[in-house]
């Protein structure tokens, strides 16, 4: 995909979910491929915690590489027979240049997980793993791509292990480099009976590949492959899907696609900032395909040489899940783009877009709907975005406010969609919003959807959860993994604060907890009694005032807690008068740091952050 510079701002208004418009800027982007080095080490110290009787989270792995995808989420965790679970992630036990990068793996044997590890299963440097399980052969399969020391894509390492949890991984290189064509990268896979179906991409033209691959007139295209287990044969290798040609596509991109299979039904969804959002569907295990354009980009085969008016599109994070009836349920994050300059090969995008969209292929195209986004957690009618929320150091590539959807469907047809979004009440000292993992669900096949729930806010403040993946199989519980960090945004040379040893967390949430509103953001009643402003001065030395406005005279409790939840100060105020007022705090000797103050009255509670110097 053509590259631009992070420059050239144009003011625009961006609609948001559950609130008024948020001022956003159109930012020229470069597509981010591969992560920059990580140089330091620090953990967030996750411990085993419980939600309900069957809900918990625990650390299962570590990595110094915080790039788990360029756009769409991979299949990274799977519920297996007998209650066992396996998980994978891009791991690296060392910093730059990630010599030990590869596929991390851990397994729950029905009783306990193995030790949390940062080790890889392969013997050579690779990454971006995808996990599948073949129930016919009782075989676990992890595919990951490797990059040769010369910088050339070396193809895909397929690691296989017979047995669940036990046994030894055997690895071989497939779909690899030829004399004139480099191998593919970023492969996602699904098992359909006797077949393994893969979707991947040739590398971006900005890399060090010796030759730019061109197929069907498309530069560095998305390609699919089809492997037959019983004959140990690749029936299709790196071929174009029907209708994927230069009539609609100019170039491919890393991870702008997702794949799922259920029985003989296979679905692939392909998107991208400047591409159509399209569904490819097969009912014969990937032998033949039909194409449906869900949302067309206004300029076909956009090559950065045409002007593009402000247009809705997707941010490249797309997902598809197939139910037991063969219906493809499609999810994507909304983005908006603009190109008003033909002097360079770049396009501007609006990072303030805030919508997870949904469509199923048993409904009309026009029935796509918004089902999620960053919620207005304190219900004040607007999104409380910190001043630096849009900085490049606060983002993951070109993703929107709400992004990276991933879905699972249980045997009753209930659909669960998790996604990543900023959170209002967890803000860093450098004025950025941390991310959490959220969930919405549908109990009627996608016709209607629940309110938004925050799955991970209970894990504490000053931690970021991102790259959430969920098991397609369920047992009355949702099984998911995500990367947890004590920093914001993806590491780069301009974002050194995001360096560290990060945690891979496995989390289980009982569906009864989800349906019973025992997790996350529940539907709240409007606080019509009072409003609370930011304390002043802020930062302070412990003597500070909280501005409030009450509709009627009432008694108020104020508590101040540190980032571990320990109460460091509490005070009651009797008969605070109606109208504008302030609550004066004199906290005496208190350690410098970031604290959360809460104002509570008549069953309502509002919290904000303060800084003590």
> How many other CB atoms sit within 10 Å of the CB of residue 554?
17
Does the pLDDT value for residue 433 go beyond 90?
Answer: yes
Beta strands in 265-401, from DSSP E residues, in sequence order: 265-270, 277-282, 290-295, 308-322, 328-339, 348-349, 356-360, 369-372
Per-residue pLDDT tens over the stretch 174-205? 998 877 788 899 999 999 999 999 999 997 65
Mean pLDDT for the stretch of residues 203-220:
74
Q: What pLDDT is stored for residue 33 in this prediction?
A: 28
Does the pLDDT value for residue 28 go beyond 90?
Answer: no
Mean pLDDT for the stretch of residues 532-552:
91
Q: Which of 148-152, 470-474, 524-528 has the lowest mean pLDDT?
A: 524-528
Q: What is the 3-state secondary structure (H, E, C) of 459-521?
A: HCCCCEEEEEEECCCCCCEEEEEEEEECCCCCCECCEHHHCCCEEEEEEEEEHHHHHCCCCCC
Mean pLDDT for the stretch of residues 490-510:
92
Does the pLDDT value for residue 69 go beyond 60?
Answer: yes
Q: What pLDDT is stored for residue 53 in this prediction?
A: 54
178 vs 229, higher pLDDT: 229
12 vs 293, higher pLDDT: 293
Q: Which of 39-43, 210-214, 464-468 has the lowest mean pLDDT?
A: 39-43
CB contact at 8 A, 315 and 335 = yes
> Which residues are within 8 A (CB) of 8 and not within 5 positions of it... i.e. 6 or more apart?
28, 341, 348
DSSP string spanning 203-222?
A: PPTTS--SS--EETTEES-E
Q: What pLDDT is stored for residue 561 in this prediction?
A: 85
Does the pLDDT value for residue 30 go beyond 70?
Answer: no
Q: Which of 24-33, 385-394, 542-551 has the lowest mean pLDDT?
A: 24-33
Mean pLDDT for the stretch of residues 265-289:
98
158 vs 527, higher pLDDT: 158
Q: What pLDDT is stored for residue 204 in this prediction?
A: 62
Query: What is the pLDDT confidence band of residue 95, given thresholds at 50, 70 and 90?
Result: confident
Does the pLDDT value for residue 21 go beyond 60?
Answer: no
Query: What is the pLDDT confidence band of residue 519, given thresholds at 50, 70 and 90?
Result: confident
List the Cα angle 391/396/397 in 5-degree steps: 90
Q: What pLDDT is stored for residue 597 in this prediction?
A: 87
Q: What pLDDT is stored for residue 594 in this prediction?
A: 81
Does the pLDDT value for residue 208 go beyond 60?
Answer: no
Highest-confidence range of 94-98, 277-281, 455-459, by mean pLDDT? 277-281
CA distance 363 to 360: 6
Highest-confidence range of 92-106, 302-316, 366-380, 401-415, by mean pLDDT? 401-415
Structure tokens at 329: 């349920």
- CATH 2.60.40.3080 residue spans of the chain: 530-612
Give one word for 346, left, alpha or beta, with left for phi > 0 and alpha for psi -120 to 50: beta
- CATH 2.115.10.20 residue spans of the chain: 120-254
CA distance 336 to 355: 11
Mean pLDDT for the stretch of residues 226-249:
97
Q: What pLDDT is stored for residue 293 in this prediction?
A: 98
Mean pLDDT for the stretch of residues 269-292:
98
- 600 by Cβ neighbours in 10 Å (0-12 / 13-18 / 19+) ranks as middle
CA distance 111 to 126: 30
Percent of the chain past pLDDT 70, that is, above it, reads 88
Mean pLDDT for the stretch of residues 85-90:
98
Average pLDDT, the chain: 86
Mean pLDDT for the stretch of residues 90-116:
94
Q: What pLDDT is stored for residue 10 in this prediction?
A: 27
Q: What pLDDT is stored for residue 51 in this prediction?
A: 54
Q: Which of 160-174, 255-269, 320-334, 521-535 has the lowest mean pLDDT?
A: 521-535
- Cα distances from 553 to residues 308, 336, 530, 549, in angstroms, run 56, 47, 10, 10
CATH architecture of the domain with range 120-254: 5 Propeller (2.115)
Query: What is the pLDDT confidence band of residue 324, given thresholds at 50, 70 and 90?
Result: very high
List the CATH code of the domain at 530-612: 2.60.40.3080
Does the pLDDT value for residue 339 go beyond 80?
Answer: yes
């Amino acid at each position: 995909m053509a590259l631009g510079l992070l420059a050239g701002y144009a003011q625009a208004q961006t609609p948001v979910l559950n609130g008024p418009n948020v001022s956003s800027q159109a930012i020229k982007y470069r597509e981010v491929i591969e992560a920059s080095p990580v140089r330091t080490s620090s953990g967030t110290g996750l411990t085993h915690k419980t939600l309900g009787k069957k809900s918990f989270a625990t650390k299962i792995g570590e990595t110094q590489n915080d790039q788990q995808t360029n756009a769409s989420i991979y299949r990274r965790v799977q519920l297996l027979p007998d209650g066992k679970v396996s998980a994978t992630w891009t791991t690296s036990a060392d910093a730059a240049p990630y010599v030990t990068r590869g596929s991390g793996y851990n397994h729950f044997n029905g009783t306990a997980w193995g030790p949390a590890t940062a080790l890889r299963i392969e013997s050579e440097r690779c990454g971006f793993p995808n996990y599948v399980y073949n129930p016919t052969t009782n075989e676990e399969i992890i595919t990951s791509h490797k990059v040769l020391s010369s910088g050339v894509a070396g193809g895909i390492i397929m690691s296989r292990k017979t047995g669940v949890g036990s046994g030894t991984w055997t690895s071989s290189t497939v779909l690899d480099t030829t004399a004139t064509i480099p191998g593919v990268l970023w492969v996602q896979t699904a098992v359909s009976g006797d077949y393994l179906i893969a979707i991947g991409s040739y590398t971006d033209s900005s890399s060090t590949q010796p030759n730019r691959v061109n197929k069907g007139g498309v530069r560095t295209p998305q390609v699919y492959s089809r492997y037959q287990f019983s004959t140990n044969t690749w029936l299709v290798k790196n071929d174009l899907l029907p209708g994927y040609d230069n009539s609609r596509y100019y170039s491919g991109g890393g991870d702008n696609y997702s794949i799922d299979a259920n029985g003989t039904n296979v679905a692939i969804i392909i998107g991208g900032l400047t591409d159509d959002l399209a569904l490819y569907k097969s009912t014969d295990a990937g032998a033949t395909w039909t194409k449906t354009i869900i949302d067309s980009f206004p300029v076909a085969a956009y090559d950065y040489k045409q002007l593009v008016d402000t247009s809705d599109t997707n941010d490249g994070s797309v997902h598809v899940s197939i139910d037991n009836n063969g219906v493809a349920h499609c999810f994507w994050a909304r983005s908006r783009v603009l190109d008003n300059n033909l002097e360079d090969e770049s396009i501007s995008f609006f990072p303030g877009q805030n919508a997870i969209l949904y469509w199923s292929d048993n409904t009309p195209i026009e029935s796509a709907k918004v089902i999620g986004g960053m919620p207005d957690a304190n219900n004040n009618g607007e999104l409380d975005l910190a001043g630096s929320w849009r900085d490049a150091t606060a983002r993951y590539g070109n993703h929107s406010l709400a992004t990276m959807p991933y879905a699972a469907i249980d045997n009753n047809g209930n659909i669960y969609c998790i996604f990543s979004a900023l959170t209002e009440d967890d803000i860093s000292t450098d004025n950025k919003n941390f991310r959490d993992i959220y969930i919405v669900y549908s109990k009627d096949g996608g016709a209607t959807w629940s309110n938004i729930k925050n799955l991970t806010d209970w894990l504490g403040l000053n931690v970021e959860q991102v790259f959430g993946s969920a098991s397609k199989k369920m047992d009355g519980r949702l099984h998911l993994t995500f990367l947890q960090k004590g920093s914001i945004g993806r590491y780069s040379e301009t974002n050194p604060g995001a360096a560290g040893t990060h945690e891979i967390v496995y989390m289980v949430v009982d569906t009864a907890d989800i349906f019973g509103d025992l997790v996350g953001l529940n539907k709240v009643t409007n606080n019509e009694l009072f409003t609370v402003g930011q304390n002043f001065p802020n930062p302070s030395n412990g003597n500070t005032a909280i501005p409030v406005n009450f509709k009627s005279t009432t008694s108020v409790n104020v508590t101040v807690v540190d980032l571990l939840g320990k109460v460091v100060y509490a005070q009651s105020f009797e008969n605070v008068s109606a109208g504008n007022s302030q609550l004066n705090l004199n906290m005496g000797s208190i350690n410098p740091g970031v604290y959360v103050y809460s104002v509570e009255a008549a069953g309502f509670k509002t919290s904000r952050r303060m800084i003590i110097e």
